[in-house]
Structure 1
Amino acid sequence: MIISSSKPFEEILSMLDDAGKIFVIGCGVCATKLHVGGEPEVEDMCRKLREAGKDVIGGTVTKAACSVKSLDYLLDLDPKIKDADSLLIMSCGSGLSIIASVTDAEVHPATNTDSLGGISCGDVKEEQCVMCGDCIADFFGGICPTARCPKGLLNGPCGGSMDGKCEVDPEKDCVWELIYIKLRDTNRLDLLDRMFEPKEYDA
């Protein structure tokens, strides 16, 4: 799941300063589950924009914004999309980019894409993965320190945590404490003996 959060309405208004006719498009997957781009949010955004004096000609929610195959698919959802000068996209950046690839209208983001996460036991889990392209999470019990350690440490904790809490963000558990517990409970503490070289980003 892509974790997104809503931009401040004032920022959205400033992006749409000379937007002309506006159509709002949400996403039926991640943005809907996070309540930042489902049907209620799209309807509310249309209402707020109209109250702010914007020319909103409609709104809809795609099944998955990142899987829009063509302009015809969007027009099947609502033919008024072809009349829009600007599209306000209530999805992650991937959804916005895909929609931008099939239309000549201006596209504007209504959300910020924060991280790759998921839902577990009914709770939204943020910052589970940073899509680094070199997954080694198996060595850490399936917990990614690249994504979840603010310092991105791959060879153990920094030493600054207190009572199992992160030095950088004391509201969060130290990810290395969680990794240790996971590996201990699954009899794989030997995995912590491996040392990882710094990643090569210039290859």
Structure 2
Amino acid sequence: MIITKAKPIDEILPFLDGKERIFIIGCNVCAAKMKTGGEPEVLALSDYLTGAGYHVIGWALPTAACSVRSFDSLAEKNNKIKEADCILVMGCGSGTSVIGSLIDVPVTGTNNTLSLGGQIGSASIDHLCTLCGDCNIGDYSGICPNACCPKSQINGPCGGSKNGKCEVSKTSECVWYLIEKKMDTLHTLPILTKIKPPKDHSL
């Protein structure tokens, strides 16, 4: 799941200068779960902009903004999109890019894309994966230190962790404490004695 955070409205409004007809596109997967682009958020933004004097001509909520077949598939759901002077995409950067590649009008996103995360029950968890292209999460029993460690340490904790807490965020548990705790339970700690080479960032 892509973790997003809504931009402050003051960052969005300058994009609308000189635009007469605004169309809003949400995302009914990740952004909906993050409450940054589902139907309630799309309607709230539409109501806010309308109340502020902007002309919102319509909105659409594709299943996933990052996986839209074509412009026609969007227009099928709301023909008003053909009249838009600009599009606001309430999804992640990928969704905004997909919509931007389909539509020949200015497009911008209303969210900041933070990381690749997940959801357990009703809790959203961020920074689970950095999309590094060089995955070795199996060496750490399913916990990625590259994503979860603020310093991206892949060979054990830094010298600043103390009592299981992170040096950078002292209220957070050190991811290496969590990795070692889990691997101790699984009797796989010896795996950590092998030094890992630096990540291949070209991937």
TM-score higher than 0.5:
yes
User: What residue in structure 2 maps to residue 140 of structure 1?
Assistant: 140
Partner SS for 1:196: coil
Deviates more, 1:182-191 or 1:193-202: 193-202
- Equivalent pair of 2:23/2:86 in contact (CA under 8 Å): yes
Q: Which runs of 5+ in 1 are unaligned?
A: none
**Deviation string for 1:95-143 (max 9, x for gaps)?**
1111111111111110000000001133111000000000001001111
Q: Mapping of 1:54-203 within 5 angstroms?
A: 54-202=54-202
Q: Aligned AA for 2:51?
A: E
SS in 2 for 1:62: coil
Alignment partners' CA distance in 2, 1:20 and 1:171? 47
Q: What is the number of equivalent residue pairs in this alignment? A: 203
Partner amino acid, structure 1, of 2:32: T
Equivalence for 2:13: 13
Deviation at residue 202 of structure 1 after TM alignment: 4.8
Over the matched positions of the two proteins, sequence identity in percent amounts to: 47
Aligned partners of 1:14, 1:171: CA distance in 2, in Å?
37
RMSD value, Cα: 1.2
TM-score norm. by structure 2 comes to 0.96
Instruction: From the superposition, tell whether residues 202 and 95 of structure 1 become closer, same or farther in structure 2 (CA, over 3 Å).
Output: closer
Shift of residue 61, structure 1, vs aligned partner: 1.0
Q: 1:66 & 1:191 partners in 2: Cα distance? A: 38
CA distance in 2, matches of 1:20, 1:166: 49
Task: Say whether residues 1:3 and 2:3 are aligned partners.
Answer: yes
What is the rounded CA distance, in whole Å, between the counterparts of 1:164 and 1:202 in structure 2?
Answer: 32
**C-alpha displacement of 1:150:** 0.5
Q: Distance in 1 between matches of 2:111 and 2:92?
A: 7
- Identify which range, 179-188 or 155-164, moves more after superposition: 155-164
For residue 48 of structure 1, what is the aligned residue in structure 2?
Answer: 48
Taking the aligned partners of 1:46 and 1:121, their CA distance within structure 2 comes to 29
Q: SS in structure 2 opposite 1:187?
A: coil
Q: Which 5+ residue runs of structure 2 have no aligned equivalent?
A: none
Q: Distance in 1 between matches of 2:4 and 2:11?
A: 16
Taking structure 1 as the reference length, the TM-score comes to 0.96
**Comparing 31-40 and 47-56, the one that deviates more:** 47-56
CA contact (8 A) 2:132 2:201 kept: no
SS in 2 for 1:119: strand
